[in-house]
Amino acid sequence: MDIKGFQFSAVEAAIKKPGRKDLALIYSEVPAQACAMFTVNAVKAAPVLLSMERITNGSAQALVVNSGNANACTGEAGMEAARGTSRLVSEGLGVADELVQVSSTGVIGVQMPFERIRAAVPALLEGLSSGTLDDVAQAIMTTDTFPKMEARGGEAGGISYTVAGIAKGAGMIMPNMATMLAFIISDAAVENSTLDETFRRAVNASFNAITVDGDMSTNDTCLVMANGAAGNPAISAGTPESAQFEAILGEVLLSLAKQIVRDGEGATKFVEIRVTGARSDADARTAAMAIANSSLVKTAFFGQDANWGRIFAAVGYSGAEVDQRRLSLRFDDVLMAEHGIFAGGDAEALGTQVLRKKEFTVTVDLGLSSGKATVYTSDLSHEYVSINADYRT
């Protein structure tokens, strides 16, 4: 993977337990076009408040991110820590403070150990000469069991470019935003308005279509930076190049989103929930999310129990328009129920076989109109409870 004009670094700042990198930097040698989407939680972490303000100028040159501490519910001291972190990085790199994005993930409500960050920044800057995007992906992990990366290549005006992304997820995964942190970089030249539009559409079809536990974080951030170092003519909206860029960006984001679900806390299943035949796409999404977030449905997935009635119950309380006599349901290709009742025959045995797979699709047809939506989710396991019962200890 070759992404021109970006440098990376990750170090141990002792925010997390010893032996794990927890402070990372992405640096673009020139200011990049940038857009970001942030949590809509009314309780926002300090770095989110800071970065939201800065991204309005449409460009960024550096991202400094830590794991192990969310810097959320930390008041003015937390804002000072976020600003101070940014200042150390901007001075060290010689870039304007407003071009530095700050991001954090970890425990909520604990003050950021700023002196440890200060002590670690020199090594962080030094590491830029040899670091990789993979190092950054590792450093932003919290309860993640594997780093999440994806990259795709494209071409504009005969010039090749790359779109690469990293993400961390695991728990507190729910639209909007679904991810906790995702950072996308590209060496393509893209007009700012084009980047903004394509990015928002891609986020809605990926991160906003996944859910692990229905909780929404105080720190969710998805940032894209395109620095133009590939040297292509700037991609602008309404062109084949723009369509290709959007497709590539969408693939990278969807891959990262799916990786987050696969690594959902304690997840043993990856489930695609499709709702069709709804009165509207919005209704379909409402119904799909109710299924995806139902504790009873998710524990049944974990137990490999073809308890399709719970899925109809979730659809029924979702708020979507439902006529129970028109509902049908499939596990992969196995028809489990139609006209609102059990399909009979071998459905139970065949459906149970599907649920024994690690990945499968649940399709509910509401039988009303043509609205449809797809979301991705995991099961709810003993391990989820274990991870979250003693997350801080």
**Catalytic residue ranges:** 179
Q: How far apart are CA 289 and CA 359, in angstroms?
A: 18
**Which of 43, 60, 38, 44 lies closest to 227 in space, CA to CA?**
60
What one-character-per-residue DSSP string does 96-109 give? -GGGEEEEEEEESS
- Ranges assigned E (strand) in the chain: 6-11, 23-38, 59-69, 100-107, 148-156, 159-168, 181-186, 210-211, 221-226, 270-278, 328-331, 334-338, 341-342, 359-365, 371-378
Does 310 contact a second copy by CB under 8 A?
yes
Q: Is 126 in the site for a second copy (CB under 8 A)?
A: no
HEC string for 59-74: EEEEEEEEEEECCCCC
What is the chain's Cα-based Rg? 22
Closest CB to a second copy among residues 164, 355: 355
356 binds a second copy (CB under 8 A): no
- By CB under 8 A, tell whether 309 contacts a second copy: yes
CB of 36 to a second copy, least distance (A): 19
Is residue 327 at the binding interface for a second copy, with CB under 8 A as the rule?
Answer: yes
Does the protein bind a second copy through residue 363 (CB under 8 A)? no
- Taking the C-alpha atoms of residue 389 and residue 381, their distance in angstroms, rounded to an integer, is 13
The strand pair at 23-38 and 6-11 is best described as antiparallel
The minimum distance between CB 367 and a second copy, in angstroms, equals: 13
**6, 245, 308, 360: residue in contact with a second copy (rule CB under 8 A):** 308
Question: 157 or 319, CB closer to a second copy?
Answer: 319
Which of 2, 341, 358, 359: binder of a second copy (CB under 8 A)? 341
Paired tokens of 49: 């408040």
Residue nearer to a second copy on the CB measure, 249 or 306: 306
Sign of CA dihedral 149, 217, 261, 59: negative
Single out the segment in contact with a second copy by CB under 8 A; choices: 5-13, 126-134, 313-321, 369-377: 313-321
Residue 374: name the closest of 309, 303, 291 by CA.
Answer: 291
Q: Which is nearer to a second copy, 299 or 374 (CB)?
A: 299
Q: Which is nearer to a second copy, 98 or 338 (CB)?
A: 338
> How many residues make contact with a second copy (CB under 8 A)?
68
> Least separation, in Å, of the C-beta of 63 and a second copy?
23
Q: What's the closest the beta carbon of residue 292 comes to a second copy, in angstroms?
A: 13
Q: Which residue has the tokens 């639209």?
A: 175
Per-residue contact string for residues 202-221; x = within reach of a second copy by CB under 8 A: -----------xxxxxx---
The runs of H, that is alpha helices, within 101-239 are 114-126, 133-139, 192-204
Prior bond to 336 cis, omega within 30?
no
Is there binding between residue 26 and a second copy (CB under 8 A)? no
Rule CB under 8 A: which residues touch a second copy? Answer: 40-44, 70, 72-75, 77-78, 107-111, 171-172, 174, 213-218, 293-296, 299-300, 302-303, 305, 307-310, 312-317, 321-325, 327, 337, 339-342, 380-382, 384-386, 388-393
